[in-house]
Structure 1
Amino acid sequence: MTSQKRVDQPSFIKGLITGAAAGIASLIAYQYIHAIIKQPRLMSRAVLSKAEDFDTIEAQALFIAADNLRSAIEVRRFGNRKTREILHAGYRNFRESWARDFSFASFGLLALKEFKVVKDTLEAFLDHQTPEGQFPVKLHSMGMVTRFMHSLLGREQPTEIPMRPKYISGHGTISLDGQCLMVIAAIHYSFQAEDREFLKTHWESLVNAISWAERSVLESTDGLLTQAAFADWADSIARNGRVLYTNVTYWKALQEMAEAAKHFGLNDQISFYSKKAEQVAQAIQAHLWRPALGYYAASDSLDQLTSSGNLLAVAWGLASTEQANFIMDAIIVNGMASPVPTKVAYPSYPPNLIALENRLGGVANYHTDAAWLWIGAWHVVALARSGRVEESHGILSRIAEVIVDDQQVHEVYGPNGRPLSSFWYKSESPLSWNAGMVVYAYYVLEYFMKTKTDIVSSVSKDEKE
């Protein structure tokens, strides 16, 4: 009898502990889910607009894109009790601010003269820049799993939780393109808003940002940045080494630093950044231009045609006039602007380079043959700046049709022309990055169309005289 009690007592205690642990876990899970369900339900951010209220479909799409962009502006709090107007990447999945997304979206915000939110968001990232010069990859208030659960349960992510910086991506990598883009955005803001004091105040921070990007990669004798896998905007693709897109953003940042240095009379820094930019430009031409293909390769080890890096090279003036026309023709021939402008890559990357979670989640083509409107917007800009204004207008019209059809700007579109989705993932709507770039493209094309009209009018006048 005594022996039996000794045998049963440890089992009883073990069962008691297991039961208590299960009960506590269930209570925590209940409280966790209950806290999410208490949040307001997600609401559609579709914009109600009627065709008859606008002169053109492009004007209607601009109205929707501008509304979507402004809807992503919210006042957020930080740990130091400071509040700022912040541009979120999205509403359903990404109610947080990403350096990369914001930097591109800022082009549209500045076109709309939304100077305060651009300055506030820039300063929020500058507040959290490390002493070594690294900007956060993003400013957020909750982890990935909790964000996913809010989306899955159809609930809004709370905005009262203080935002905090995150310096490493979900794949454990640093963001070189986001680093360079923040420099570009800061200088662009200063010039567009005529806020020279901002540039003067944060000049050393921008110098440190460029230095950090250069120190944080493998040593390279040709001046190009070399990156790890899953480290740039196409972060579901394990492309590494000398990547075109990343180095085009780096080259542009160096150019902008040289231009900004002129306003301070910093002759030594003008020379320093100009020479670096020229070295990087020459290295991109030497390592990544493929004359037989008529475009820049995705990286030094991948020959895919990637629209982002190639279109930025054209829009920002890195590519020559001849190269620009080759690139534009290659994009057309390979059907990258149809049905939605513009697809990410051609041909698609091999499956072994695509992140496992994307394959399991049913969105393996997220960064391959899917289309993103921010790239389509750069497509519009690149064509316009290459003198192919009619083609540029055609791309913008196609973008406008998609936006007006959905009454909002989605994140990413599948080959069927509809927003990309699977059981596990639904395209963010709206996405401020896409919306901001569409707004910017509209204003750029409007400028070039007016310029062309003025030139034609001038020529006609001369002929009559």
Structure 2
Amino acid sequence: MDRRALLNASLVCARSLRANLKSVESPDGRPRSLLVAGGGQFHSVWTRDFCFAAGGLLAAGETQAVRDTLDALLAHQRADGLIPRLLDSYSPLTRFARAMLGSRIPLKAPLKPNFISDHFVSSIDSNALLVWATCRYAIAADQPAWAGLVLPKLEKAMAYYTDRLKNGLVRQPPFSDWKDTVSARRGAVFFTQLHRWKALQALSRLHRHLGRVSEAARRESEARAFARLVDRAFWDETRGFYRDTLVRNRLSCDSNLAAVAWGFASEERSARVVRAIDRAGLWSPWGPRAGERYRASEKGWLVRLAGVAGYQDDFVWLWIAALGLQALRRTGRKALLERTLRRVAALLERDGAVSEVYDPETGAEIKTRLYRSEKPFSWSAGMLLETLRELLDNPALAEEASCDTRS
């Protein structure tokens, strides 16, 4: 893969991220740089999107924006430990309606926390993701004093899951994770378990960074035990992937590729996961579709009305493509890695920004009469930038082959 093409693609990602950094006055009057999720209807501080994009912000040198956004979110933690799903000056409905009319409402103080979605549920993954992002920042920026101050909030955020465990696994209502238009994502969901595992790992590393060796060991032991439980519960030996939920053995690319990219899956299972995605026909030229299709009855009425029924199963999201690129590198799929990188780089050069969702057949940005793909889109820009920087900083990664060298 041409290094210049990788560099140009990473620059598009960095520009997309910086376009979504907004200056908002803090309660003490100081201007803060906050990351919003997108340039239109998602022009709010979405916890999930920010946390996934945080690694890209750090790679781009936007350390202060990470700190400011973390501070803003942690300041609104609820008494029971719940982290807001988003911060905004207006209601999500107002912002969505204005965006559909082609106008943008600026983000301004005071920011109000939103904990409950239009499906009347909280975001089950916000707590774990914010713990992960906070620990990453504290270690990368070497901020032990600040980390010590926010550590009680992080512990409280993790304790929030205690009453939501059944047989050791986090249980959730429908519409409460990122696939918030799909009713089938309910009960014990594999991706949510991965988020909790990542948060436990991150807490262990932070405690070790702060010199709290015994607490670090306790969290590390907890993470390992939880990983073993999750692995046993979700692995489908027959089809060779981690099932989406305990009740359905549907293949969802988000969680399976994350399991490979984050080192959750063993070398042998990682190779099987990538082959399973191949067999299912889910890999488009620009990366994987979100997963196997859900039934129409399992999807919210709004996405069907808007003409985007494939929003969270059939469409291509570049943050999942970023996980896919990491998974291909880890499993030695060099030829497919290079082909996908080339097509993603060409797509970014064509559009000049990172968009939210793409057509898996044409690579075009999704656009209907009632829905327009968010652009620029922070979540994908951040994760893709982080992946591209890894390849740029260590070109040998692109040449690496480990456990499966077939293309």
Normalised to the residue count of structure 2, the TM-score between the two structures is: 0.92
The answer on whether the counterparts of 1:258 and 1:274 sit within 8 Å (CA) in structure 2 is yes
2:382 aligned residue (418, 421, 436) = 436
Q: Secondary structure at the match of 1:368?
A: coil
- Structure 1, 263-272 or 329-338: larger mean CA deviation: 263-272
The alpha-carbon deviation at position 448 of structure 1 amounts to 4.8
Give, as a single letter, the amino acid of the residue that structure 2 aligns with 1:429: K
Q: Secondary structure at the match of 2:53?
A: helix
Q: CA RMSD in A?
A: 2.0
Matches within 5 A, 1:67-106: 67-78=15-26, 81=29, 83-106=31-54
Match of 1:271 in 2: 217
Is 1:393 aligned with 2:338? yes
The answer on whether the counterparts of 1:337 and 1:395 sit within 8 Å (CA) in structure 2 is no
The alpha-carbon deviation at position 131 of structure 1 amounts to 2.6
CA distance in 2, matches of 1:297, 1:244: 7
Match of 1:148 in 2: 96
Match of 1:426 in 2: 372
Give, as a single letter, the amino acid of the residue that structure 2 aligns with 1:424: L
CA distance in 2, matches of 1:270, 1:156: 45
Match of 2:359 in 1: 414
- Higher RCO (CA-CA < 8 Å; seq separation 6+): 2
The alpha-carbon deviation at position 126 of structure 1 amounts to 0.9
CA distance in 2, matches of 1:140, 1:306: 31
Match of 1:327 in 2: 273
1:133 aligned residue (75, 81, 92) = 81
Q: Which runs of 4+ in 1 moved over 4 A?
A: 78-82, 451-455
CA distance in 2, matches of 1:454, 1:141: 47
CA distance in 2, matches of 1:451, 1:158: 41
Match of 1:353 in 2: 298
Give, as a single letter, the amino acid of the residue that structure 2 aligns with 1:320: S
CA distance in 2, matches of 1:401, 1:59: 12
The 1:452–1:150 alpha-carbon spacing in structure 2 relative to 1, beyond 3 Å, is closer
The alpha-carbon deviation at position 125 of structure 1 amounts to 0.6
The answer on whether the counterparts of 2:51 and 2:133 sit within 8 Å (CA) in structure 1 is yes
Match of 1:16 in 2: none
Give, as a single letter, the amino acid of the residue that structure 1 aligns with 2:234: L
The answer on whether the counterparts of 1:381 and 1:445 sit within 8 Å (CA) in structure 2 is no
Match of 1:14 in 2: none
Match of 1:364 in 2: 309
Give, as a single letter, the amino acid of the residue that structure 2 aligns with 1:224: L
The answer on whether the counterparts of 1:385 and 1:448 sit within 8 Å (CA) in structure 2 is no
- Structure 1, 136-145 or 295-304: larger mean CA deviation: 136-145
Is 1:338 aligned with 2:284? yes
The 1:201–1:241 alpha-carbon spacing in structure 2 relative to 1, beyond 3 Å, is same
Is 1:382 aligned with 2:327? yes
Match of 2:162 in 1: 214
The answer on whether the counterparts of 2:329 and 2:400 sit within 8 Å (CA) in structure 1 is no
More helix by share: 1
Q: Secondary structure at the match of 1:139?
A: strand
Match of 2:187 in 1: 241
The answer on whether the counterparts of 1:89 and 1:432 sit within 8 Å (CA) in structure 2 is yes
Match of 1:258 in 2: 204
Matches within 5 A, 1:180-199: 180-199=128-147
Give, as a single letter, the amino acid of the residue that structure 1 aligns with 2:194: V
Q: Secondary structure at the match of 2:283?
A: coil
The alpha-carbon deviation at position 91 of structure 1 amounts to 0.9
CA distance in 2, matches of 1:171, 1:156: 24
The alpha-carbon deviation at position 152 of structure 1 amounts to 2.4
CA distance in 2, matches of 1:412, 1:198: 36
The answer on whether the counterparts of 1:79 and 1:162 sit within 8 Å (CA) in structure 2 is yes
CA distance in 1, matches of 2:45, 2:106: 14
The alpha-carbon deviation at position 335 of structure 1 amounts to 2.8
The answer on whether the counterparts of 2:391 and 2:397 sit within 8 Å (CA) in structure 1 is no
The answer on whether the counterparts of 2:270 and 2:331 sit within 8 Å (CA) in structure 1 is yes
Gaps of 5+ in 2: 402-407
The alpha-carbon deviation at position 166 of structure 1 amounts to 0.7
Match of 1:205 in 2: 153
Percent of matched pairs sharing the same residue:
32
The alpha-carbon deviation at position 274 of structure 1 amounts to 2.0
The 1:115–1:64 alpha-carbon spacing in structure 2 relative to 1, beyond 3 Å, is same
Per-residue deviation, residues 217-257 of structure 1 (Å, max 9, x unmatched): 2x412x21111101111111111111011111111111111
Q: Secondary structure at the match of 2:170?
A: coil
Q: Secondary structure at the match of 1:75?
A: strand
CA distance in 2, matches of 1:321, 1:447: 24
Q: Secondary structure at the match of 2:22?
A: strand
